Amino acid sequence: MSLLVNAAHADGLPNIVGRDLSGKITSLHRTFDYKPMVVNFWWVKCSPCKQELPDLIAKERDYPNVDFVYVHAETNAKTKAPYAIDEVTGFLESQSLRLYRVIIGNTKARQSANIDALPTTLLLDNTGRIEQKLVGFTLENTAKISEWLAKQ
């Protein structure tokens, strides 16, 4: 399957298209509901991503007025395709993680959104404009996410 890859729209919201965990085609634009949004780009084999996801899940529970979307953003090196749904769900189950809004994308989609490293988190306002781009899982970035969420 070929995924659509387009540059970010003028509003800043990247045009990432992929499959959700049920196998349906979805995109960031389809999930955008004119609410503040946290978009986390991650990968099942990324150690810092594994450390960051539980923190983001806790924040998601604490801030129901903010949408959280998790973009699995790497291509499977063996198949040269996006990761299979069962690979992503198997990883989540093995880590006892529950993500509600997942887009299984690929490396090209990530790169088209100017995401060079994982994890990267985008903080978007209710118009889809990117307010902050935070690269890596650090105490400083965790604090910045918390500060941003408190203002929403």
For 47, the enclosing helix (H) or strand (E) is: helix 47-62
- CATH code of the region 17-150: 3.40.30.10
Task: Assign 94 to helix, strand or coil.
Answer: helix
Question: Given pLDDT bands bounded at 50, 70 and 90, which one contains residue 10?
Answer: very low
Q: Hey, what amino acid is at 125?
A: D
Domain positions in the chain? 17-150
State the pLDDT confidence band at 42, using cuts at 50, 70 and 90: very high
Q: What is the pLDDT of residues 107-144, one digit of tens each?
A: 988 898 899 999 999 999 999 999 999 999 999 999 99
Whole-angstrom distance, CA of residue 101 vs CA of residue 20: 7
Contacts of 147 (CB under 8 A, 6+ apart): none
